[in-house]
Amino acid sequence: MHPSRRLASLQPGGHTPATRLRTAVNWLNLSTPFGLGVAALGGARTVRGPRGLWLAEGYRPGFPRAGAFTVGSVVLTPGRFADLARSRPDLLAHEERHSRQWCALGLPFLPAYVAATAWSWLRTGHLAYANVFEVRAGLVSGGYRPGPGVSDPAADGRSAPAGGGRAPGAAA
């Protein structure tokens, strides 16, 4: 994909009925207001992004250690999204899938994600390989390299948002 197309994908717009519903539910279940609060407390600059997402760059606390992470419909990064779009063009799709998971679970997604991370660590010695939320969001698009015997449904075109069990129409 040409770099200018990747950067254009960061622009607001691209709403579908499904993204409008996800956006509304994430506001109603308070996960997006929570995410905007996390962004503000972390010193991030927040702007509207594509498909109902908010993009918060310059997040400073250093936790969690990730290139990007999502809270509700807010995608946070310690860096810049333009840089991420060039180096990891599928990352925003991965994070949008996490936004759908927040939509399905609301604020209980946070302890469920922590539990799934612990389970993954215990089973595989890796924080993501057996984390159902990371696997469903797509390990490869999230920047993870699946280990031996670890499948990546998103790379095979089988990814599904948490609670949905259906392949997404676009990205997460």
Residue 166 lies in a domain: no
Domain count, the chain: 1
pLDDT tens string 1-52:
333 344 346 666 788 999 999 999 999 999 999 999 999 999 999 999 999 9
Residue 146 lies in a domain: no
For residue 1 the two structure tokens come to 């994909």
How crowded is residue 25: how many other Cβ atoms within 10 Å of its Cβ? 18
63 or 111, which is more confident? 111
Residue 57 lies in a domain: yes
Residue 168 lies in a domain: no
Residues spanned by the domain of 130: 3-137
∠ Cα 52 58 60 (to 5°): 120
> Rounded distance, CA 72 to CA 67, Å?
17
State the pTM of this model.
0.81
The stretch 54-73 carries a mean pLDDT of 94
